[in-house]
Amino acid sequence: MAAVALVQGASRGLGFEFCRYMLLNKPLAAVIATCRNPDGAQHLAALAAQHPGRITVMKLDVNREDDIKRAAESVKCAFGKVDLIVNSSAMLHPSGKGETSLRDVSAQGIISTLTTNTVGPLVMAKYFAPLLQKGTGAFGQQPPEKAKQHSGIIVNMTARVGSIGDNALGGWYSYRMSKAALNMATRNLSIELGRGQTKIVCVSLHPGTVNTDLSLPYHRNVHKDKLFSTEYSVQCLMNIIDNLNTDKTGKAYAWDSTEIAW
């Protein structure tokens, strides 16, 4: 059976590039691309036209649990399994800029950011874990020991600023907190979904500073050699994914494969 990859938040930025990369470089993979408004996702429609029969565009608002549940039911009916899930949707803050001090903090801003960046990926795991357990381990590396093989992979897109140990500057309360909490969710998931014979590898991946709408307000502060294209970042991240195994689960990795301290 062909590999099945689902990209949550696929209409733009890294999510779109993950879809494009797999369609070009994983010829046997079926790609499920989810987004809040498929009718307005013109780039996805064009990509689907270029790869007929290989990409399914599906409505899924990661802030709505009912959407996630319905999407999981649809994927189950259409594919019966999933081998890889990439949770790509993210927001810096509802205002588009991170808070620089306590004066900028609002309860609603924190709640909105946590809902998209942390709660959404965790609820995705709740409904899609059964389908990942039916996967064939088509992504990552499988060791010869049957007991250590995995059936599927969950990738949560994190950020280095979510590392508590690496935080020396402060600020960006909502975004930092959401990514730190996401890292904890990844760790928890790796433990629960790593039990038993059917194991799911769960990792957090940091893409670097990528030229997307999320990082746009801060481009002038980033050296040109450190501002990555989506193509370069996804190529690096897919290299990590292709080399994942059960020994690497429950950890955070940067785009260059180095491990990030929690």
Q: What does the domain layout of the chain look like in residue ranges?
A: 3-260
pLDDT tens-digit readout, 137-190 = 999 999 988 889 999 999 999 999 999 999 999 999 999 999 999 999 999 999
pLDDT for the residue 210: 86
3-260 classified as CATH 3.30.470.20? no
The first and second tokens of residue 211, run together, are: 């030229």
Distance of alpha carbon 262 from alpha carbon 258, whole angstroms: 13
Distance of alpha carbon 15 from alpha carbon 223, whole angstroms: 24
pLDDT for the residue 227: 83
Please state the pTM of the whole predicted model: 0.94
Residue 15 has pLDDT above 90, yes or no: yes
More confident residue, 217 or 241: 241
C-alpha gyration radius of the chain? 17
Residue with tokens 């996630």, as numbered in its chain:
68
The first and second tokens of residue 188, run together, are: 């928890």
Q: How large is the average pLDDT for residues 95-118?
A: 95
pLDDT for the residue 226: 72
Distance of alpha carbon 71 from alpha carbon 35, whole angstroms: 11
pLDDT for the residue 12: 93
pLDDT tens-digit readout, 208-236 = 988 876 645 555 555 556 789 999 999 99
pLDDT tens-digit readout, 45-69 = 999 999 999 999 999 999 999 999 9
pLDDT for the residue 212: 74
pLDDT for the residue 225: 66
Is the four-CA dihedral 97, 103, 108, 114 of positive or negative sign?
positive
The first and second tokens of residue 104, run together, are: 């900028």
Identify the CA nearest to 79 among candidates 125, 148, 135: 135
